[in-house]
Chain A
């Protein structure tokens, strides 16, 4: 099914291939201006601000779900510990920004000409730390997959992520991590503050989504990505050919973990806080739900899934009241039962039927015209 993506190399072909996604990004970029033109409120206030907020959550969760799709859809690895990477990124960012950055900014000042870039340097260093932590967490999970497979592995990932969760919730470290309440009020520079400069965050997360999608798409279509998919299909045969499955699983884990870690860091910027929920199994299950709803192993599916779940969260509350998750859960079960390939996967499998039907409908019209 993916073969059509492998045919043409080159930049122009890539742009043509991803034109739908790029148009979507462009539309999303124009959207705030459109809302501003319609309602007359400024970019950082009123309705525009509200809708930007909704979309920012959607963008970040879409990247998180896509990174989960790398594992479950392409790698065929059912991990219940993906939230550890997300929360790990978020907490690394929050802890460093809260406790280390102010001290650094007090004692050092980095100048580029006459511009003070020390805040930018600090941000860069912190993001590097996020990268390091995500890689380490990814490697931990990869290391456990050496000896265990299938269900045992799924349960071990659950246990490891719950160990992280317990660690972050432990009251022993209350003065640093805030235990149950989480870290609040992360000091962010004004130009990155989501309450003051929402449009900046909006653009940043939109670019983040675009870059992550394109990088992941490139990775999935690369030879490495193909080997990861082959690992999902038949591990023994792959070992026969001479690939080491452990290495490729580790690559899948680390890549997924890096994307999840960065989305976690961005999420903590956007909320200006990090809470233990980000590390709990609920977050993993959310990513799982988004991936399943959109379609596993499609990469664009999780984006759809994130959009659907965001829309559902918005509207179900007003339609069904406080118990809306009941309706959502039933919907989810129906999707698992009847649309196992998700929205995108089912469309790819069945889309031609719809197209055929549409064509037949058009033909009918033409025939009538010709007869008339």
Chain B
């Protein structure tokens, strides 16, 4: 049988099964509960998809099972929530991060010169180690006396005040510039030392092309000017952001989450995962350790409490909209869908999931990057042989996956309690989704996520109806996974190895 016909058969079987089950559920549950539960299922499915899409891409391309994905989902929610309720923390930390990045970004500029240096072999081995230790020391020095915890805690206070309508009461005054300026300088030097260490001065196995300044200079210059900008607006920006319209602020929060996820993903891939590609089991263990550390860090910064993020204004006005148009005009918190009252924010989450699915589909099928990723899933060695830098593609895909998880986090923020363990459940479900859909297949991730979301929602509904505990809903996803695995070990849309 041709693979294409086989694919079509699988698809039609799945569609048939879904239709039969839908009809059955419709009959048993009745119209209104059915619509309500199905919409809740779609909401959950969207979030599962946002988590699973990253997981499946990362696994498909580089065989990495990222057990820190749930923590990254959680971090995305925290970052967005920080910006939305009180951005003091983010703006206080921004100059540090940008200054460090400026230092690191100087790498392509200094590498050709450093590599060509003639050094005794002793020094070639010792310099990277020494510089790294120095960089760590400088970084530690730059943070001594910098009260990160206080900045982090402001949003905790603001979280209660923002609901009362006055978010400005608790903006902490920041350190005066006269004593502050040394910190970015120190951490810039630290970043520079990291760049020197990774350039490996005098190493004869390294190779670097001397490029024109017009190619290497712009990136550090951009980062440098961003650092200056961040330094200037350090104190005024939090107020300006809080004065903005709520919807705009929410959009910025989403953007910040995505950017944060992207950068964080890149950093994690380069520093923690890249050295371990030779030992695949250890990557899993490393990501487990990473998720542990992230969770503890978040608990250190924001205490192990659950926070409630305020819904953005476009889905927070009291009242029920009769149709979509009315919702867009008034921003009502609930909407009438076929006689069922449903929260509008959840519709937004559903839309988010579908938009991201379309985005990924276009990215994977229409762009050059998608082509390389699909080729890389098939055969990474061949792609590398064709002269494509697979390492940087790995980094990019990892960052993309993490960014999507972070987007899921901020999307879930306004209707889930924001707490250190919020990602765990989504990670487990995301893993199950990936297994059901087939590793490496984004279509599979979407279908699997929707199936799981529905199973959870209807499981909860029937558990409530027949006064059982919600354990059935939780177990249903595992049961579905076991059935799928026994019938098709490679998942619904996976390729046989």
Contact = CB atoms under 8 A, between A and B. Distances in A.
A158 B489 contact: no
Interface residues of B, number: 39
A323 B300 contact: yes
A14 interface: no
Nearest to B424: A281
A288 B482 CA distance: 24
> Which DSSP category, helix, strand, loop or mixed, fits chain A's interface?
helix
Given A151-B65, A152-B435, A340-B279, A169 B471 contact: yes
A167 B285 CA distance: 27
Nearest to A291: B285
Interface stretch (B81-89, B101-109, B172-180, B290-298): B290-298
Contact of A329 (B284, B296, B431, B489): B296
B489 A152 contact: yes
Contacts of B479: 163
Given A166-B474, A172-B468, A151 B282 contact: no
Interface in B134-192: none
B326 to A, nearest CB: 41
A329 B279 contact: no
A225 B200 CA distance: 45
B293 A329 contact: yes
B177 to A, nearest CB: 31
Interface in B114-136: none
Contacts of B335: none
A332 interface: yes
Given A156-B485, A323-B299, A163 B285 contact: no
Give the most central of A147, A148, A329: most B CB within 10 Å.
A329
B469 A170 contact: yes
A333 B289 contact: yes
Given A163-B478, A325-B296, A329-B296, A151 B59 contact: yes
A159 B272 contact: no
B432 A326 contact: no
A265 to B, nearest CB: 25
A288 to B, nearest CB: 7
A158 B276 CA distance: 23
B281 interface: yes
B274 to A, nearest CB: 11
A142 to B, nearest CB: 15
A155 interface: yes
Contacts of A72: 281
Contacts of B475: 163, 166-167
A260 to B, nearest CB: 19
B284 A154 contact: yes
Given A78-B281, A147-B486, A156 B481 contact: yes
A172 B474 CA distance: 13
Given A147-B485, A329-B293, A337-B286, A162 B468 contact: no
B478 A160 contact: yes
Between B281, B285, B434, the greatest number of chain A beta carbons within 10 A of the residue's beta carbon is seen for: B285
A112 interface: no
Interface string A303-346: 00000000000000000000101100110110011001000000
Interface string B38-53: 0000000000000000
Interface string B464-497: 0000110100110011011001100100000000
B252 interface: no
B471 A171 contact: yes
A292 interface: yes
A159 B282 contact: no
A148 B481 CA distance: 13
Nearest to A156: B485
Contacts of B318: none
Contact of B428 (A162, A169, A285, A288): A162
A140 to B, nearest CB: 11
Q: How large is the interface on A (under 10, 10 to 19, 20 to 34, 35 or more residues)?
A: 20 to 34
A170 B474 CA distance: 10
Interface string B411-450: 0000000000000000010011011000100000000000
B298 to A, nearest CB: 10
Given A78-B281, A163-B478, A166-B474, A158 B428 contact: yes
B65 A154 contact: yes
Interface in A160-205: 160, 162-163, 166-167, 169-172
Contacts of A166: 471, 474-475, 478
A124 to B, nearest CB: 33
Given A288-B288, A323-B300, A147 B489 contact: yes
A158 B289 CA distance: 17
B460 interface: no
B3 interface: no
Contacts of B489: 147-148, 152
A80 to B, nearest CB: 9
A159 B285 contact: no
A292 B293 contact: no
Given A151-B439, A154-B284, A166-B478, A159 B432 contact: yes
| Most chain B beta-carbon contacts within 10 A, residue among A148, A169, A171, A336 | A336
B431 A158 contact: yes
B297 A152 contact: no
A191 B276 CA distance: 51
B252 to A, nearest CB: 30
Contact of B293 (A159, A170, A330, A340): A330
Given A151-B63, A151-B439, 17 more contacts: A72-B281, A147-B485, A147-B486, A152-B439, A156-B435, A156-B482, A158-B428, A158-B431, A160-B482, A166-B474, A170-B471, A171-B469, A325-B296, A326-B300, A332-B292, A333-B289, A337-B275
21 contacts: A151-B63, A152-B439, A152-B485, A156-B485, A158-B428, A159-B432, A162-B428, A163-B475, A167-B471, A171-B471, A323-B299, A323-B300, A326-B300, A330-B293, A332-B292, A333-B290, A336-B276, A336-B285, A337-B276, A337-B286, A340-B279
Interface of A: 72, 78, 147-148, 151-152, 154-156, 158-160, 162-163, 166-167, 169-172, 285, 288, 292, 323, 325-326, 329-330, 332-333, 336-337, 340
10 A-B pairs with the lowest CB-CB distances in the bound complex, closest first: A170-B471, A326-B296, A329-B293, A171-B469, A329-B292, A333-B289, A163-B478, A159-B478, A323-B300, A332-B289
